[in-house]
Chain A
Amino acid sequence: MNLEKVIFGFFIVLAATLNFGFFLGDIERPELHNVYELAAALIVSLIATALKFGDRTQIGAIHLSTSLVADLQLIAAAITWGAAVHITGVGMTPHVTSSVVSLSGGALFANVVSVIILIIETVMMRR
């Protein structure tokens, strides 16, 4: 067993599960989407990205790009949230909530791709 692989797999799956947890629930109702869960998803996603740095293989490149997509979507969701509460002051209306959750939904898709690549990589491994 390789500790590096354990940590790598752990963060990728955790990023996907946290993202899924935040995404779950009625898309218009802010009380079903916790801000801490979004924060955790973003942080874990960033860590997963950093773990993928410096791999020169083709599969490593795809890994990195899916993570970058997820980061981008989650950062966009966080900025939307922050802007609605602090800058425009409209608060978490159904409209804002649905944008935030759908952005995180996009990130969830990228994270799922990332998990699928991880599974493919594991299946292809010969040792």
Chain B
Amino acid sequence: MNSAFFLVLRRMRAPIIVLIVIYAIAVIGLTLVPGVDAEGKVAAPLSFFHAFYFVSYTATTIGFGEIPNAFSDAQRLWVTICIYLTVVGWSYSVVTLIALLQDKGFQNTLTTNRFVRRIHHLKEPFYLVCGCGETGNLICRTFDRTNQAFVVIEKDELRVQELDLQDFKTDTPALAADARQPDNLLLGGLKHAKCRGVLAATNDEESNLAIAIAVRLLNPNIPVIARVRSAPLAANMASFGTNHIINPYERFAEHLAMAVAAPERFRLTELLTSLPETPMPAPHRPPKGHWILCGYGRFGHAIASRLAATGIRLTIIDPKAADADHRIPGDGTEAHTLLQAGISNAAGIIAGTDNDVNNLSIAVTAHQLNPALFVVARQNHSANSALFDAYGADFTMVHSQIVAQECIAILTAPLLARFLEQLHDQDEIWSHGLVERLQLLGDGLTPAVWDIKLNISEAPAAYKALMHDRHFKLGDILRDGTDRSLPLPAVTLLVERAEQIFLLPDDNFSLAAGDQLLLASSLAAQRNFEFTVRNAIELDYVLTGQEGSGSWLWQKLSGAGR
């Protein structure tokens, strides 16, 4: 039995005993007080049966009157006392019960019980998302759009309630609890057979560290992805084997440096790692030359160290940082500071302070002084999106988005990391060609990148066909399942066979059982393809054009007729 039931019983003990005692007094009293008969002579008192019947309807204020005969005055006196006694007894019970139902602790017990029950009944693979702030929310919405089940643990009760109000397709189990407590992680299904991974995406990096180590110790088999801001904590996490550590500052600095050094490769990376089916980002072409960096905290340091390698000359403005250029007074929000830093012949500026208003002020001022400037703006809070959208910097860094993108990319397509590694050996023309193909996939929307393994659980039909020596080529199976004359709009990025890797295989590539494919396409095309490789009849149609029948009898008949 669950704990809520015991809690109710325990709290209701006193009212129930009071009620029993009051009923006992009232009933026994009624069986002792003499009654009166129709002629006014003294008659026997009520029997236990009648007394209990009378007290039952009087105590609950139903009041049928004096049954079975009119009462004597002595009985009426006793009944008057009983009425007050029993009403008090019932009120006490009801008030206690209502107070119990409104009790915070009791409600917590109820919600926790419900949450645990729902986790227990989860049948599809799910991810445990710890922390549902800006980043967590973005991840949750993407999961919801891609039909991926997830469970949320968030410390702030208000955010959990807001989660209910959001327009999710599925009803997500969410618990308002501190994810730093291992017990809460266990409640959230950390040891559940279907738990595929944990995302530590809270705002507090110490919490993320605690979550990462708890997952490592309690369930070492599942991956944990953690978000950090500072290098020492990242090193700490790496020391005990956190699978993926995402530092948004480092990641953005990497991207910016890549955009300067190899713009086409960066464009390709951006398309592949952006959230699926979001508007296509505008291409970024940051120029080389002299740049100004405003704000030299952790973000500024990450940017400076990465950009130095690309040959960009940086002037760093930050009155608070010890190692910035102190010959220039001010923080960059004023025109004279920027002029002194050499804005008139600079190629770009990075507004990278931790204050959104200052960043916008820097960007607007710089743009007025030098309209040709390439402006990189750092957006700290997604609440300010409207302002940053209205301004329209050349490149905006939103760290919640960077973390969310990377989480989704790692989780939905583990092969993507291997593909991105391969990019370093490819030249810009190759990248440009692939970008052109990817841009054609969805009208103005970014493609979803996903992988599928041709094995018995993910693609049973294709696996069985391949095992029965029915070989087919990539171009044969990448057809539209509704009309096989149309090719499926998808790009095969990579095929992994054992330890071998085939980059961008063409349509004549022969597939083998156990191959793992990395594809980019729209979500609809993904569903189309998954249906084809799972369903033998669909697969037959796509490969041969014959509409087979699933029924055993029909298969026998057509086999005999042939």
Contacts and interface: CB of A to CB of B under 8 A. Distances in A.
28 contacts: A35-B31, A35-B48, A36-B28, A36-B31, A39-B28, A39-B31, A39-B48, A43-B20, A43-B23, A43-B24, A47-B20, A47-B21, A50-B17, A50-B20, A51-B17, A53-B16, A54-B6, A54-B7, A54-B9, A54-B10, A54-B11, A54-B13, A56-B3, A56-B6, A81-B48, A82-B47, A85-B47, A86-B49
Contacts of B27: 39
A85 B48 CA distance: 10
B163 interface: no
A15 interface: no
Q: How extensive is the interface on chain B, given as a class?
A: 20 to 34
A78 interface: yes
Interface in B17-69: 17, 20-21, 23-24, 27-28, 31, 47-50
B245 to A, nearest CB: 43
B359 to A, nearest CB: 57
B85 to A, nearest CB: 15
Q: Interface of chain B, helix or strand or loop or mixed? A: helix
Contacts of A47: 17, 20-21
Interface in B180-206: none
Contacts of A39: 24, 27-28, 31, 48
Interface of A: 35-36, 39, 43, 46-47, 50-51, 53-54, 56, 78, 81-82, 85-86
Scoring B21, B24, B28 by chain A CB atoms within 10 A of each residue's CB, the highest score goes to B24
Interface of B: 3, 6-7, 9-13, 16-17, 20-21, 23-24, 27-28, 31, 47-50
Contacts of A78: 48
B220 to A, nearest CB: 33
Nearest to A78: B48
A104 B186 CA distance: 49
A71 B490 CA distance: 72
Contacts of B10: 53-54
A53 B17 CA distance: 11
Nearest to B12: A53
A28 B27 CA distance: 26
A85 B17 contact: no
A50 B89 CA distance: 15
Scoring A54, A78, A82 by chain B CB atoms within 10 A of each residue's CB, the highest score goes to A54
Contacts of B48: 35, 39, 78, 81-82
Contacts of B31: 35-36, 39
A4 to B, nearest CB: 11
A43 B47 CA distance: 16
Nearest to B15: A50
B532 to A, nearest CB: 54
Contacts of A36: 28, 31
B28 A85 contact: no
